[in-house]
Chains A and B, each alone.
Chain A
Amino acid sequence: MSELANDIKKASLEASERTGLTVTHVAARRGARASLDDVARAAFGVSLPSSPKAVEARGALIVWTGPDQWLIVQKDETGRDHYAELAKTFNGLASLVDVTDSRTIFRIAASRPSETLLRNMGIDFHENSFQPGDVAITHVSHLGVIVWRLPDGTAYDFACARTYSREFADWLRKASA
């Protein structure tokens, strides 16, 4: 068991580290937003969100991460290179970075936040305010985090820098105690 998994286990949280994912950061090139949307609609059947939302599309989760920027989270599949496919699809319209290895994504499988987690977030995290499909980029205890509630409302995902993942797990433990 990895040290991180051990920490999570010790924390006896409903949290787990999501693995087997490809995470790609996409930033629209200057003036290419409209064409990028056309291409995204053809590839995923949805428009890229222009407000803090996450949309599920053909097995991918497209997460808004700032003006004209997104994270595309995809489950790994044998024989497929998600990053290469995205690079081909968005060629010339967006700059892409494979951030799979630089991000850790924690999942709390819950339909609403625990009372303590609610109180420890700097943003309004109440289930009526932070709705399914909502995204927030914020920080907790000086650690930058992108948090989203799955569009079906079954879980919360927290993406943090991998180098801070143990500190983040520690925060999660304290925040959810």
Chain B
Amino acid sequence: MRIHCPHCGERSLDEFSYLGDAVVRPDPASPNAQEAFYTYGYERSNVAGPMQELWYHAAGCHAWLVVTRDTRTHEILEVKSAHEVALARQKVAGTAQ
């Protein structure tokens, strides 16, 4: 399996570490934080198909990446910088308010 790092280019899997589901971390200040964190921590979905995951380019540029991977075939469908994803999310949240 090879991952195309948006910063470094295509690299072998052994340069990356896997964290897991790229689901958004709940807001610890929200009133239902305890429940939300329970769901976040323990009630993960076991996707058969394309899933967004966090990967870390540990032996490369040290950037966190959001990788869309098909869990059945290991096909990598998309790779984005996690930083960019977070900024885009903030922007969306900002316009929604």
Interface residues in chain A, defined as those with a beta carbon under 8 Å from any beta carbon in chain B: 51-52, 65-67, 122-123, 136-139, 144
**A122 CA to B8 CA in the complex, in Å?**
13
Structural contact, A66 and B15, CB atoms closer than 8 A: no
- The range of chain B's interface size is 10 to 19
**A101 CA to B6 CA in the complex, in Å?**
31
Interface residues in chain B, defined as those with a beta carbon under 8 Å from any beta carbon in chain A: 7-9, 11-12, 14-15, 59-63, 81, 83
Q: Nearest CB to that of A65 among chain B residues?
A: B61
Q: Nearest CB to that of B61 among chain A residues?
A: A66
Q: Nearest CB to that of A122 among chain B residues?
A: B12
The 10 closest A-B pairs by CB, nearest first: A66-B61, A139-B59, A137-B60, A66-B62, A137-B61, A67-B63, A122-B12, A67-B7, A144-B59, A52-B8
CB of B60 to closest CB in A, whole Å? 5
Query: B7, B15, B63, B83: which contacts A138 (Cβ < 8 A)?
Result: B15
Structural contact, A136 and B8, CB atoms closer than 8 A: yes
